[in-house]
Amino acid sequence: MLDVRNIDKAFGGLQALRDVSLTVEEGTITGLIGPNGSGKTTLFNVITGFYEKDRGTVTLRGRSIGDLPPHSIADRGMVRSFQIPQVPRGMTVMENMLVAGQGLAGENPIAVFLRGSAVRRQDQEMVGRAEVLLDRVGLLKQRDELTGSLSGGQVKLLAIAQTLMTDADLILLDEPTAGVDLALTDQIMDLLKDIHSEGKTMMLVEHKMRVISGVCEYVYVLDAGEVIASGEPAAVQSDQRVIEAYLGAEESQKARGWR
């Protein structure tokens, strides 16, 4: 479904991604792991149009999306969440969900006046859909709360609910369980499996091995901007190169005085 080939991306003198290629098959959950700074989020940003790649191609369902801006890519059916959740503090949970709706007539200011009743009807539908999704992630009670008052875990759930609201077929989640406690991690894992069973395709950036082994069918490992291994979670976890990459990263972080 998603075909990424030979991606290069450099920032000034730093080569963040080097000849990265990966494929996400339709209907699967694919994982993207790697030590801190290996380029996972950068790759996400390139794929979803937030960064311009220096070289390579990105194809979604056979059509090239490499040069498209993020909103066009979302239009084509691929959405993403953010590692550091983007939370518009001034809006309620319900509004956050409504804004994720696609193809809303009411987003055209002229339509708001000239097709008022149609806009209202669509809004009503969206509210209904949103309520179902919010209930699913357990946020229905908070529907009219400002997102600024949500806990970190709740924000993560909201982000996932938002991606569901877009009805996209390919969902990219950047560390959906980062900073989240054990119980909530399990809850999110179950949610992801649920979504998967509905036929959605997903790619996750993750740090927690539990999540990767529990949820992903296929995993890519990134280190210093290069894909060093790929395969099923069990195989990848025992891959010598992967272990070294993680250990190496730990060592160099210790040397730099970060730990």
Partner 1 sequence: MFAFLIHFLVMTGIFAIVALSLNFQVGLTGLSNFGQAAFMMIGAYTSALMYTAGIPFIFGVLAGMVISSLFALIIALPSSNLRADYWAIVSIAAAESLRLFVNNEKWLAEGPFGLRGIPRPLSSLFGDNYAVFYLFFVLACLGLVYFALERLNKSPFGRVLRGLRETEDLMEALGKNVFRFKAIAMIIGGLVAALGGSLYAHYITFISPETFAPEVTFLVWTMIIVGGSGNAKGVMVGALVITLLNTSTRLLKDFLYLPTSLVAALRTLSIGLLTIVFVVVRPQGILPERKHVVSYSGGEEGSETTMPGRALGGGGR
Locate 198 and state its tokens. 């509905």
On the 0-12 / 13-18 / 19+ scale of CB atoms within 10 A, 8 is middle
- The size of the interface with partner 1 (CB under 8 A), counted in residues, is 49
Select from 11, 25, 64, 69 the one that contacts partner 1 (CB under 8 A).
Answer: 69
Footprint of partner 1 on 154-173 (CB under 8 A): 162, 166
Rounded to a whole number of angstroms, the minimum distance from the CB of residue 64 to partner 1 is 18
Nearer to partner 1, 73 or 212 (CB): 73
Distance, in Å, from the CA atom of 94 to the CA atom of 88, rounded to the nearest integer, reads: 12
Which residue has tokens 């005085």? 257
Buried b (16+ CB within 10 A) or exposed e, 104-123: eebeeeeeeeeeeeebeebe
User: Letter for the amino acid at 142?
Assistant: Q
Binding segment (CB under 8 A) for partner 1, from list 20-28, 46-54, 57-65, 217-225: 46-54
Measured distance between the N- and C-terminal CA atoms of the chain, rounded to whole angstroms: 40
Footprint of partner 1 on 75-114 (CB under 8 A): 75, 79-82, 86-92, 94-96, 98-102, 104-109, 112-113
Rounded to a whole number of angstroms, the minimum distance from the CB of residue 179 to partner 1 is 18
Distance, in Å, from the CA atom of 25 to the CA atom of 184, rounded to the nearest integer, reads: 28
Chain positions contacting partner 1, by CB under 8 A: 48-50, 69-72, 74-75, 79-82, 86-92, 94-96, 98-102, 104-109, 112-113, 119-124, 127-128, 144, 146, 148, 162, 166
